[in-house]
Structure 1
Amino acid sequence: MQIATHPDSAESTAGPVRDDAPGAASPADAPDAPLPGRRSHDSVRAKILEAAAANFEEFGYAGTNLRKIASDAGFTKGAVYSNFGSKPDLFCQVATERMSGAGADVFASLTPVLASAADRHELVVGLGRALTQSLLGYTAWELIIAEFRGLARTDPQVAAGYTALSRERIDRLIELLATSPLLAELADPDLRSLAAGALGLLNVMAVDHIAAPEVYTEAFITEIVTHAVEGLIR
């Protein structure tokens, strides 16, 4: 997944330009440039999120620096804190948006399976294949989320963020699975177990797929996920 960095990132990382520096544009030379006070709150957040997504994807969670995110977005570090509060908060917001994109792909791939499966076997095979194909398309973010999960062991703020992110992903998948007539007899706890189990397994498999693609091929992961889904549905 390619995420373009903010077009001003190259200049902003070099530090602020003095108004009296050689070659610096005067206010009259740039009448269309919006003043900081006139930028809308949503616009500021959007630029920060765009820069943050690019930095997290390139450097990982631990390697990402809030000062660089602010610089790439064209703001000060204070703007990041005033809009998102902390690095874990910012990451969770970015990850939630990226997972929303993944969720849209999952919905698109699972909806026909859930609607057309003639029996449980066909449903299980279709779910295993569709879940694997859709979520392996977001392996880069699964790797970053795995890093985030590891930090949650020692950082309460990261742990709270990871908990919220996990609940969001599970709830979205439950909502989709509940549309299948073949799963109508499953109680809510069973649907939650199915959603959480499938996502948890795929999280691990996605990271293994990046680290050892010759071993954890898409076909092998599909087989594992299919067997897991079959066991969780019974």
Structure 2
Amino acid sequence: MSTVPGRTSPTSASQRRDGRHAELRGTARERLLNAALAELRERGYEGSSLEAIARRAGLTRGAVYWNFHSKLELFVALLEQRVDGPARELMRLTETAPPETLTAGAVSHGLGRLVREQRDLIMLLFEYWALAVRDPNLRPSFNERQKLLRNALARALESRHAHTGVPLVYPAERLATAILALANGLAMTALAEPEAVSEQLLGEVLDLLYDGLAARASGAGSGRSRSTSSRAGRPSNSGRASDR
């Protein structure tokens, strides 16, 4: 098929618009994710549509289905890239840091930064939770996401305690469930009342939580000894699990 110099053929224009042209395969997905966030921010999850997201991205509906099969899949991909991925990086910090490295404070600051940088998406995440509670069609995907995060955190906790030599005397999965609930609750509070939630708060609570775990692992006598040495400004023999 011949083309007029200086003009783009209908085929190549269509390829560029639907995102399947070789030069745009990588960018179409990112454009859709950015457009989805903007659309979801304005209209919420229920009020948004794939057609509106495609228009906002400057792509055809076919481009959306080339990359995502549904609005839910697109939303989950957005969460994975911008919330869950960074959250797992914080878990990996806990899992891989040397035993002598303090991690609770870094995790706490990381959560605070995530809430600040992804404020709109965190609010949409809470909308997703509210919808999943009411809608049995959304609930499986929400629960699967929670399960993946919970399992990742449980593995990180088990690895951390193995590295430090402080026995984990409470089931890792149940502990991970509680920590995720704590982080979600603090994030929700920070969105509405930011002055009530400092970036240190999660780390401080994790310190208290893990101090209790270390005391239980070491026995009541060791726990009292560690408390006394901490007041004196000296580390205890058993060590603080949260610092590990």
Q: Percent identity?
A: 27
CA-CA distance at 1:185 after TM superposition: 3.8
CA distance in 2, matches of 1:179, 1:165: 21
1:179 aligned counterpart, secondary structure = helix
Which of 147, 150, 164 does residue 127 from structure 2 map onto? Answer: 147
1:156 aligned counterpart, secondary structure = coil
Tell me the equivalent position of 1:163. Answer: 143
Tell me the equivalent position of 1:103. Answer: 87
- Do the aligned partners of residues 42 and 170 (structure 1) sit closer, same or farther apart at CA in structure 2, a change above 3 Å counting? farther
Once the two structures are superposed, the pairs formed by residues 110-149 of structure 1 within 5 Å of their partners are 110=94, 114-117=97-100, 126-139=102-115, 140=119, 141-149=121-129
1:93 aligned counterpart, secondary structure = helix
Conserved? CA contact 2:50–2:70, under 8 Å: no
CA distance in 2, matches of 1:42, 1:229: 46
CA distance in 2, matches of 1:183, 1:71: 55
CA distance in 2, matches of 1:68, 1:202: 33
2:98 aligned counterpart, secondary structure = helix
CA distance in 2, matches of 1:155, 1:27: 55
CA distance in 2, matches of 1:52, 1:173: 28
CA distance in 2, matches of 1:175, 1:34: 48
* Long gaps (5+) in structure 2: 217-244
2:195 aligned counterpart, secondary structure = coil
Tell me the equivalent position of 2:229. Answer: none
Which amino acid is 1:39 matched to? H
Conserved? CA contact 1:198–1:229, under 8 Å: no
Tell me the equivalent position of 1:217. Answer: 198
* Long gaps (5+) in structure 1: 1-25, 118-122
Q: Deviations over 1:168-203 (max 9, x none)?
A: 22222233333322367437x722222222122101
Tell me the equivalent position of 1:29. Answer: 7
Tell me the equivalent position of 2:45. Answer: 61
Which of 2, 25, 34 does residue 50 from structure 1 map onto? Answer: 34
Aligned length: 200
Tell me if 1:186 matches 2:177.
no
Which amino acid is 2:157 matched to? L
Give me the TM-score of the superposition, normalised by structure 1: 0.68
Q: Highest CA radius of gyration, 1 or 2?
A: 2
